[in-house]
């Protein structure tokens, strides 16, 4: 369990970091947008991804399982 | 595309978008005339069917810079909203711009500007103007009424829902209401206990959006946050990284929407058996159906009325009329003496000359515009209010502000080529996945946050509207409401 939490958190941290960079790229230097707000938004984004990384991973896995099952069922129903 | 210096403008339509446009243009020193065929301002709120009103909470449906008074109910009744628009007009001093009871009958290019023919009680007049803003909304004044075989021999009344001004018109009658949108549901619900028998006939159902999710949480918290905006297909011209994330991450939003569907099925009792063993469960998934032209926020008790048999629901098309019956495609025969079509209005801009409609590239799903407002091949012509959004008043107010900034040269438009490329991208994006419909070109709905962001960025305003130390959390989890845009309107 702790390994799973660690993996999920690590994935969240990586995605969050990339998300933070994308926010910086889109907003920093743009007229009308406060740099402090951008940095604060970016840091929070990274933090939230890291905090909820394991939960997001869980829902992603559940989604992948149910989506796969749903596609399989639909294919079987569509088969003659 | 705006040519030359704009000194005066004509706004067609005195509804929400027309008034917001007049307010913003007059603030830029532009002389405005607002024409409306009705003798009362308000557009769709000037008049309506029995019991008409706003279907979303008032904090989402009000002018950001002119809040609705506290005493107005949470879901604003139509007449109160019309009164509020009158007050808006007086508050911002635009009443002098209004020329009500005046219909625009023709529109011609004249140099960089336009010549209009307008008609009122006193006769026809010619008007010259630098800029024309079409603010007549998404739909025309022509009711959408299907032609059904045998309707000439039907002895009862065939009405459009807009003609049902007083529900007493239906007293003691056997009524079939056709449609599954808000107006059809409203009329059918109001007819219970008044009409002798109420049928509701619809070909397809749509996912209902309850006023409160699970009976607890106002729907805006579950539908209108940036978190939910991340669960829908990427917006037009998204980056390759965003598209890749949405592809790899697809199981996540897929699961989210299936859970939402499950909750709605339970809460709204969509498994209720109706005529012929049918149910109210929609065919299409909610994340696709949400972009259809029918947004269903059912009046309280609507589904319960169907479950209780107070409304006899039939999921079928209409085949033909006889003298006193309506025969459905599923073979059922309804003995009725009044049929009310709650089937909406036709789209289109019939008053625009054909060459202009060609220049605008009109298609069966509407006119595609740059930022839903301008077309580079129709200079000095703008559309405000051609966008369907859950926060129409805010969306139209932002459009009006954006247009006024463009006219005042505070917002620089891209080149004609870039604008055409943006329009082509928008068209391709929408036509590649959104449900087909006459107003698809103007459909935003769950993408409205992305669209608001675009307009705000163009104007040099921050799209992140939430404030305070916890603003990033609020951005993600707290829905936007009109007041968040107060300082940019």
Touching check for B283 and chain A: CB below 8 Å? no
Statement: residue A7 has pLDDT above 90: yes
Name the residue in chain A with its Cα closest to that of B469. Answer: A40
Q: How far is CA B452 from the centre of its chain?
A: 16
Do residues A16 and A53 lie in contact, with contact meaning Cβ atoms separated by under 8 Å? yes
CB contact under 8 A, A44 and B457: no
Touching check for A40 and chain B: CB below 8 Å? yes
Tokens 């705006």 belong to B2
Using CA atoms, how far apart are residues B449 and B226, in angstroms rounded to an integer?
A: 7
CB contact under 8 A, B475 and A41: yes
Per DSSP, A33 falls in state: S
- Stated as kind and residue range, the H or E segment containing A47 is helix A35-78
User: Distance from A71 to chain B by nearest Cα, in Å?
Assistant: 12
Using a CB-CB distance cutoff of 8 angstroms, which residues of chain B are in contact with residue A59?
Answer: 252, 255-256
Model pTM? 0.94
Do residues B43 and B155 lie in contact, with contact meaning Cβ atoms separated by under 8 Å? no
Q: What is the mean pLDDT of residues B448-452?
A: 96
Touching check for A59 and chain B: CB below 8 Å? yes
- Do both B199 and B243 map to the same domain? yes
Residue-wise pLDDT for B157-214, tens only, equals 999 999 999 999 999 999 999 999 888 999 999 999 999 999 999 999 999 888 888 8
Domain count, chain B: 2
Statement: residue A42 has pLDDT above 90: yes
The interface pTM score, or ipTM, of the predicted complex is 0.93
Name the residue in chain A with its Cα closest to that of B252. Answer: A60
% of chain B with per-residue pLDDT over 70? 100
- Do both B68 and B169 map to the same domain? no
pLDDT at residue B47 in the model:
86
CB contact under 8 A, B462 and A32: yes
> CB-CB: which of B254, B461, B462 is closest to A63?
B254
Using CA atoms, how far apart are residues B432 and B435, in angstroms rounded to an integer?
A: 9
Q: What is the mean pLDDT of residues B243-253?
A: 93
Using CA atoms, how far apart are residues A60 and B165, in angstroms rounded to an integer?
A: 51
Touching check for B230 and chain A: CB below 8 Å? no
Using a CB-CB distance cutoff of 8 angstroms, which residues of chain A are in contact with residue B251?
Answer: 60-64, 66-67
Domain boundary among B344, B364, B382: B344
Residue B108, domain member (yes or no): yes
Residue B333, domain member (yes or no): yes
- Do both B396 and B267 map to the same domain? no
List the strands of the sheet with B113-120, edge to edge: B103-110, B113-120, B123-129
CB contact under 8 A, B241 and A22: yes
Do residues B455 and B267 lie in contact, with contact meaning Cβ atoms separated by under 8 Å? no
- Do both B266 and B398 map to the same domain? no
Gyration radius of chain B over CA positions:
23
How many Cα atoms sit within 13 Å of B153 on the Cβ side? 9
Q: How many beta-carbon pairs under 8 angstroms link A with B?
A: 54
Gyration radius of chain A over CA positions:
19
Neighbouring C-beta atoms of residue A69, cutoff 10 Å:
10
Residue-wise pLDDT for B353-411, tens only, equals 888 999 999 999 999 999 999 999 999 999 999 999 999 999 999 999 999 999 999 99
Residue-wise pLDDT for B185-197, tens only, equals 999 999 999 999 9
Residue B312, domain member (yes or no): yes
Touching check for A55 and chain B: CB below 8 Å? no
Residue B1, domain member (yes or no): no
Residue-wise pLDDT for B212-227, tens only, equals 888 888 888 988 899 9
pLDDT at residue B447 in the model:
95
CB contact under 8 A, A67 and B254: yes
- A-contacting residues in B 243-272 (Cβ below 8 Å): 249-256, 258
Residue B369, domain member (yes or no): yes
> CB-CB: which of B252, B460, B461 is closest to A63?
B252
Neighbouring C-beta atoms of residue B98, cutoff 10 Å:
20
Per DSSP, A32 falls in state: T
Using a CB-CB distance cutoff of 8 angstroms, which residues of chain B are in contact with residue A40?
Answer: 471-472
Using a CB-CB distance cutoff of 8 angstroms, which residues of chain A are in contact with residue B471?
Answer: 37, 40-41
% of chain B with per-residue pLDDT over 90? 79
What's the CATH number where B389 sits? Answer: 3.50.50.60
Name the residue in chain A with its Cα closest to that of B241. Answer: A22
Touching check for B237 and chain A: CB below 8 Å? no
Q: What is the mean pLDDT of residues A6-35?
A: 94
Q: What is the mean pLDDT of residues B58-74?
A: 96
> CB-CB: which of B250, B255, B460 is closest to A32?
B460
- Do both B241 and B96 map to the same domain? no
Do residues B68 and B84 lie in contact, with contact meaning Cβ atoms separated by under 8 Å? yes
- Do both B185 and B230 map to the same domain? yes
Domain boundary among B318, B344, B370: B344
- Do both B179 and B300 map to the same domain? yes
For residue B475, give every residue at least 6 positions away whose Cβ sits within 8 Å of its Cβ, in sequence order, or none.
Answer: A41, B226, B464, B466
> CB-CB: which of B239, B462, B472 is closest to A33?
B462
Residue B256, domain member (yes or no): yes
**Reported confidence tier of residue B471, pLDDT bands at 50, 70, 90:** very high
Residue B2, domain member (yes or no): no
Residue-wise pLDDT for B284-335, tens only, equals 999 999 998 776 778 788 888 998 999 999 999 999 999 999 999 999 999 9
Residue A37 backbone dihedrals phi, psi, to 5 degrees: -60, -40
Residue B97 backbone dihedrals phi, psi, to 5 degrees: -75, -20
User: Distance from B423 to chain A by nearest Cα, in Å?
Assistant: 22
Neighbouring C-beta atoms of residue B289, cutoff 10 Å:
19
**Alpha-carbon dihedral sign for residues B66, B71, B76, B80:** negative
pLDDT at residue B332 in the model:
94
- Do both B329 and B380 map to the same domain? no
Using CA atoms, how far apart are residues B227 and B208, in angstroms rounded to an integer?
A: 20
pLDDT at residue A80 in the model:
66
pLDDT at residue B135 in the model:
96
Touching check for B457 and chain A: CB below 8 Å? yes
- Do both B288 and B433 map to the same domain? no
Statement: residue B51 has pLDDT above 90: no
Q: What is the mean pLDDT of residues B242-265?
A: 94
- Do both B168 and B293 map to the same domain? yes
pLDDT at residue B295 in the model:
67
Name the residue in chain B with its Cα closest to that of A42. Answer: B472
Statement: residue A74 has pLDDT above 90: no
Domain boundary among B305, B325, B344: B344
- Do both B289 and B384 map to the same domain? no
Q: Name residue B379's beta-bridge partners.
A: none
Using a CB-CB distance cutoff of 8 angstroms, which residues of chain B are in contact with residue A44?
Answer: 472-473
The average confidence (pLDDT) of chain B is 93
Using CA atoms, how far apart are residues B283 and B328, in angstroms rounded to an integer?
A: 20
pLDDT at residue A59 in the model:
97
CB contact under 8 A, B252 and A32: no
- Do both B311 and B361 map to the same domain? no
CB contact under 8 A, B258 and A22: no
Q: Residue B249 belongs to what domain range?
A: 144-344
**Nearest by Cα to B66 from B32, B26, B16:** B16
Residue B3, domain member (yes or no): no
């Amino acid at each position: 369990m702790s390994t799973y939490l660690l993996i999920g958190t690590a994935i969240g941290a990586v995605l969050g970091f990339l998300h933070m960079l994308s926010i910086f790229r889109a907003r920093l230097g743009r007229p009308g947008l406060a740099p402090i707000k951008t940095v604060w938004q970016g840091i929070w984004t990274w933090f939230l991804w890291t905090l909820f990384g394991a939960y997001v991973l869980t829902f992603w896995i559940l989604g992948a399982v149910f989506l796969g099952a749903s596609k399989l069922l639909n294919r079987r129903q569509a088969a003659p | 595309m705006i040519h030359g210096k704009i000194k005066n403008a004509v706004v067609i339509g005195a509804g929400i978008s027309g008034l917001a446009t007049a307010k913003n243009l007059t603030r830029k020193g532009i002389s405005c005339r607002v024409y409306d065929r009705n003798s009362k301002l308000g557009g769709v709120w000037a008049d309506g069917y029995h019991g008409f009103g706003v279907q979303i909470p008032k904090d989402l449906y009000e002018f950001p810079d002119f809040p609705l008074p506290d005493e107005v109910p949470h879901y604003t009744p139509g007449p109160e909203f019309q009164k509020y628009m009158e007050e808006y007009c007086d508050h911002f001093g635009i009443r002098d711009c209004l020329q009500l009871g005046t219909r625009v009958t023709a529109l011609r290019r004249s140099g960089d500007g336009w010549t209009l023919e307008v008609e009122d009680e006193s006769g026809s007049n010619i008007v010259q103007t630098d800029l024309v803003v079409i603010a007549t909304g998404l739909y025309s004044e022509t009711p959408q009424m299907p032609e059904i075989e045998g309707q000439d021999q039907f002895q009862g009344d065939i009405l459009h829902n807009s003609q049902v001004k007083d529900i007493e018109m239906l007293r003691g009658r056997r009524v079939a209401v056709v449609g599954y949108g808000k107006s059809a549901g409203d009329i059918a619900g109001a007819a219970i206990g008044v009409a002798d028998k109420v049928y509701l006939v619809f070909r397809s159902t749509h996912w209902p959006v309850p006023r409160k999710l699970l009976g607890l949480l106002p729907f805006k918290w579950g539908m209108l946050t940036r978190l939910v905006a991340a669960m829908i297909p990427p917006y037009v011209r998204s980056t390759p990284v965003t598209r890749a994330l949405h592809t790899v991450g697809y199981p996540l939003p897929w699961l989210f929407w299936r859970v939402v569907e499950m909750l709605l099925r339970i809460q709204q009792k969509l498994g209720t058996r109706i005529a012929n063993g049918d149910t109210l469960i929609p065919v299409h998934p909610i994340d696709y159906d949400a972009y259809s032209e029918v947004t269903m926020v059912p009046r309280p008790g609507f589904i319960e009325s169907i479950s209780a048999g107070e409304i006899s629901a039939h999921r079928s098309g209409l085949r033909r009329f006889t003298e006193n019956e309506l025969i459905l495609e599923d073979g059922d025969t309804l003995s009725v003496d009044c049929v009310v079509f709650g089937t909406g209005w036709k789209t289109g801009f019939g008053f625009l000359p054909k060459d202009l409609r060609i220049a605008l590239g009109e298609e069966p799903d509407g006119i595609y515009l740059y930022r839903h407002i301008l077309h580079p091949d129709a200079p000095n012509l703008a559309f405000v209010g051609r966008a369907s959004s859950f926060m129409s008043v805010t969306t139209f107010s932002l459009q009006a502000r954006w247009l006024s900034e463009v006219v005042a040269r505070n917002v620089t438009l891209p080149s004609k080529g870039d604008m055409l490329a943006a329009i082509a991208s928008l068209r391709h994006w929408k036509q590649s996945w959104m449900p087909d419909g006459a107003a698809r070109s103007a459909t935003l709905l769950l993408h409205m946050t992305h669209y608001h962001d675009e307009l705000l960025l163009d104007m040099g305003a921050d799209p992140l509207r939430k404030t305070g130390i916890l603003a990033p959390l609020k951005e993600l989890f707290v829905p936007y409401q009109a007041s968040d845009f107060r300082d940019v309107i």
